[in-house]
Amino acid sequence: MEAFAGPDDHLPAQRRAGMAVTSHDVARAAGVSQSTVSRVLRTPGRVSAPTREKVLTVATALGYVPSDVGRSLVTRATRTIAIVITDLTSAHDTHLIAPLHDELSARAYRMVLFTEPVEGHRERPDGAEPLTREEEVKPLIDRLLNRATDGVVLTTSRLDGIVPRVLTQHALPFVFLTRYTEGIAADWAIVDNSLGASLIAHEAIRLGHRRIGAIFGPADASTGRDRERGTRAALAAAGIELPDHRVRHGLFTFAAGYGAMTELMAEQPAPTVVLCANDTVAIGAFNAARALELRVPEDVSLAGFDDLPMADWEVFRLTTVHQPIEEMARTAVRLLIERIDGRAEAEAGRQMVFAPRLVVRDTLAPPPEES
């Protein structure tokens, strides 16, 4: 290794005065340029081993602590990742936040949360015509592009999503988590929604249900569409009809489940089991059944999807489909950071699809004898 003067010989005046050491100080003491110091700290593989060792030794000796603010001015990297969710009060969304935060923190990244408005939930102040979808998401897009973030985790995307297309146009790295948008060569981490829905449907069939109802999610979300496809395919393979009057579509919300369940149980004859788009919808349906003085599963069976922590609460004990959220979140973070660091192929999207697992609890049982 090339010899260099001891760090005490180059101890800057501000260090002696108790002030922070800068990368300029490290560069001067090591006899290299500041850009070389930045490369050593940011992309060490681009610097020769002797120079890298010299810079790191001097930085350690001087007690240099890299400044994220200063580094961002040079490299335009902020070590901040934007997470886009639907609703801060959603049990599903809050279940995603913790593993994303933990994985990003372990990789020395910060997290900032954004919400994407659900279609039709924002109106013009003057009460005029409803906002177009482009107008609804424009504030979100502006914040994502103007905020100092290195990349984005998208959990809300629709099949024809505007946000991922704009991010692609602006070359801002992103990854899909739990959902995806078709026609975009991006990385994603999702569960096999179609297979998961078929697992629940097959279990209902095995228990003897033939009069089946369903509360499906929005058809413009990959989760809603794929879960509906899996359910219908399983029922069709068993020769079981799913008539339109026993089907409802809605958002992945408690209110959607409650309202749809109330309508379905007014059908004559009513379904003996209702397969729900997710656990939140199923819990809404569960509460609607209780309000109608129906016992679950003695009078009507229910099943969900996601396996949220509350699904295992004693008051529900919901039969559902487990998706490995923690593993999916860790994978999404890894894919995104590799994309940010240039360690992924420039064009090809990497599609990580995780296996679902049926979780049998107490809300799914054989149909009532009189049915």
What is the residue-level pLDDT of the chain in tens, covering all 371 positions?
Answer: 333 444 444 444 544 444 567 777 888 888 998 778 877 776 666 778 888 888 888 888 887 766 544 444 444 567 899 999 988 888 888 899 999 999 999 999 999 999 887 654 444 555 666 777 778 888 888 888 876 789 999 998 888 788 999 998 888 899 999 999 988 889 999 999 999 999 999 999 999 999 999 999 999 999 999 999 999 999 999 999 999 999 999 999 999 999 999 999 999 999 999 999 999 999 999 999 999 999 999 999 999 999 999 999 999 999 999 999 999 999 999 999 999 888 776 667 899 999 999 999 999 999 998 65
Sorted by sequence, the CB contacts under 8 Å of residue 83 that are 6+ apart come out as: 96, 97, 100, 111, 112, 113, 114, 152, 153, 155
Selected from 3.40.50.720, 3.90.1300.10, 1.10.260.40, 3.90.1570.10, the CATH number assigned to the domain covering 7-75 reads 1.10.260.40
- The CATH code belonging to domain 80-191+324-354 is 3.40.50.2300
- The CATH code belonging to domain 193-322 is 3.40.50.2300
Strand-pair category, 320-322 with 357-359: antiparallel
Strand-pair category, 301-303 with 273-276: parallel
Q: Report the C-alpha gap between 35 and 29 in whole angstroms.
A: 14
Domain boundaries of the chain, sorted by first residue: 7-75, 80-191+324-354, 193-322
The per-residue pLDDT for 77 is 66
Side-chain-side CA neighbours of 219 within 13 Å: the count stands at 4
Considering the entire predicted model, what is its pTM?
A: 0.76
The per-residue pLDDT for 280 is 96
Same topology between domain 80-191+324-354 and domain 193-322: yes
The per-residue pLDDT for 71 is 47
The per-residue pLDDT for 44 is 65
